[in-house]
Structures are given as structure tokens and as C-alpha cells.
Amino acid sequence: MELEHEFERVVAADHRVEPRDWMPDGYRRTLIRQIAQHAHSEIIGMQPEGNWISRAPSLRRKAILLAKVQDEAGHGLYLYAAAETLGADREDLTAKLVEGRQKYSSIFNYPTLTFADVGVIGWLVDGAAIVNQVPLCRTSYGPYARAMIRVCKEESFHQRQGYELLLTMMRGTQAQRDMVQRSVDRWWWPSLMMFGPPDTESTNTEQSMKWRIKRHTNDELRQKFVDMTVPQAEKLGVTLPDPDLRWNAERGHHDFGEIDWAEFWQVVGGDGPCNAQRIAHRRKAHEDGAWVREAAAAYAAKKSGEEQVA
């Protein structure tokens, strides 16, 4: 009872819960679920853009893209480390991912068909990620909140590189402008789905808000993203593919059309355009890396043996 009161006091005072503190089992389970899903998203998220590294149109674009994809690997690693502070086992999390027992963001199950998709992922996907993740810098669990600070700084660079790439293409030929518009048409709705199901169908939001793991609901963040993105689209000169999108002066927000939730649940359920390919690729990379893990473990064992002798 006393431990529970202390936990509630820490959360209510907006202080951070730390790894050695007592916490309810449900709080620990929810955090492991969300942080693991977040880590898996970063790691699987390397694939759609990684597809274009060898075909980037210039050395500069290739260097930028390589740096961005490497950042994503780094984000995945901080997040797996944060999950480990809760007692999760890294090997077990990877096994759950490749066996389809843990989720990753729906957005990474869509294909990258043209180089414009690299720009649109930066602009819309990283833009959505920032809106979702900036409030997570104030999430109640200390290691997750601290990881988010660095992640958000890097995401901000990712978002700008995407927007800058699109501005360059929009100043180019008509074919380039058409390529950008088609890419926006394909990524707009899946980007809105990144924020999760509507609040009325979100099973975890209420409890996660009470524990201050989540600081805003899915619909609040989705609305913020739409409001932020509309003027950026205007400046860029692209049309967002939603005939119902318009400013509502009464609400002080943009209204937007109905999201295809059947498509969302289909993709989350494993049946999106690229789910099988993404998981097969991840499984192969994990198997191909077995020798590195074995060598690292053998080296660590040898070192600790040497230390004990000394």
C-alpha cells in the first residue's frame, strides 16, 4: 500500500519513475509493450528508406539518407536499452517481433516506390513521429523520457531533410512535381493512421493517460499533426488527398475526412502490402548476425576470465 501511494505521488507530481522504484505490474507491462513496439518500429523503419540508399540520385542525398537510417538504428538501440531497464530481455523482444507476437508501426508496411517517398517519409512520417514523441519526453518513466529527448532532436533533422528534398523536387521539372504529388497521395492517409485508432477504440489510452505514460490521446495528436501540416503542404505546392479537409473557424482546427480504419486494422493484423517482406528481411538479418553476437559473447567471457585471473 505504502509503495503504491509513493508511486502515485511520484506520477501525480510529474516526477519520474526510475528502474529500481516499485511500480504496478500493469504499468511495467504497458511500458514494455509500448517501448518494444516503438523500438521495433525504428528498426523495421530502416527498411523502406534503406531501399533507396544504393539508388540515391547524388552523393549528398546518399550521405544524408545513410545518416538518417543509421540514426534510426540508434533510436532502436536506446529504446531496447530502456525496455531492458524494466526487466525485458532483448533476445526475447526480437523473437517476439519476428514471430509476429509484438507489433511495430503500421506505416512501415507500405512500399517506397520512388525517391520522392524518401522526402515524403521525412516530411510526413517523421513529422507525425515528432508530434507523437515530443510529449513522450515528459512520459512518467525516466529512461523512456530521457531517450526521447535525443530521439526527437534527431527526428527534427529527419523531418527537415525530407521537406528540403521535396522543396528541391518541387522547384524541378513537371515530372518531379508529379512524382512528389503521387507520393503525398500514397502516404497521407497511412501517416494519419500512425497515431493509432480513434480514442473511442483505443484500448490502452485511458489507463496510459492516468499513469502519464501517454500525455495526449491519439485523436488529439492526429489533429495537431493535421493542423501543422496543412500550411506546410500549401507552401510546398502539393494537394493533400482529402476533399473534406477544410479550416473550421468554430473549432479552431481543420476538419478532415474519415480514415479507412478497416485498412488500418488489416495492416496492423499482418496483412498490409509489405508485412511479410519486412519480417522476412528482419529475420534474415538477425540470423545473419548470429556470428557477431557469438563473437561478442565469447570476447566478453574471455575478458571477464582475464580480469578474474588478474
Q: How far is the CB of 133 from ligand BYC (least distance, A)?
A: 6
- Contacting residue, 47, 140, 159, 208, with ligand BYC by CB under 6 A: 208
Q: Pattern of binders to ligand BYC over 21-40, x per CB under 6 A?
A: ------------xx--xx--
Cβ closest to ligand BYC, residue 106 vs residue 181: 106
Q: How many CB atoms lie within 10 A of CB 258?
A: 7
Q: How far is the CB of 173 from ligand BYC (least distance, A)?
A: 27
Q: How far is the CB of 247 from ligand BYC (least distance, A)?
A: 26
Strand partners, 254: 247
Cell 496543412, residue located: 230
The residue ranges of DSSP E strands in 96-250, in sequence order, are: 246-248
283 within 8 A of 100, measured Cβ to Cβ: no
Q: How far is the CB of 259 from ligand BYC (least distance, A)?
A: 11
Q: Pattern of binders to ligand BYC over 42-61, x per CB under 6 A?
A: x--x----------------
- Contacting residue, 11, 41, 115, 225, with ligand BYC by CB under 6 A: 41
The whole-angstrom separation of Cα 166 and Cα 296 is 42
- Contacting residue, 202, 232, 239, 266, with ligand BYC by CB under 6 A: 202
Total binding residues toward ligand BYC, as defined by CB under 6 A: 28
Give the residue among 33, 1, 9 at the shortest CA–CA distance from 213. Answer: 33
Q: Is 230 exposed, middle or buried (0-12, 13-18, 19+ CB in 10 A)?
A: middle
290: which residues sit within 8 A by CB, 6+ positions away?
Answer: none
Chain-centroid distance of CA 222 in Å reads 14
Task: Kindly list the residues in this chain that would bind ligand BYC in the complex (CB under 6 A).
Answer: 33-34, 37-38, 41-42, 45, 72, 103, 105-106, 125-126, 129, 132, 193-197, 202-205, 208, 214, 218, 268
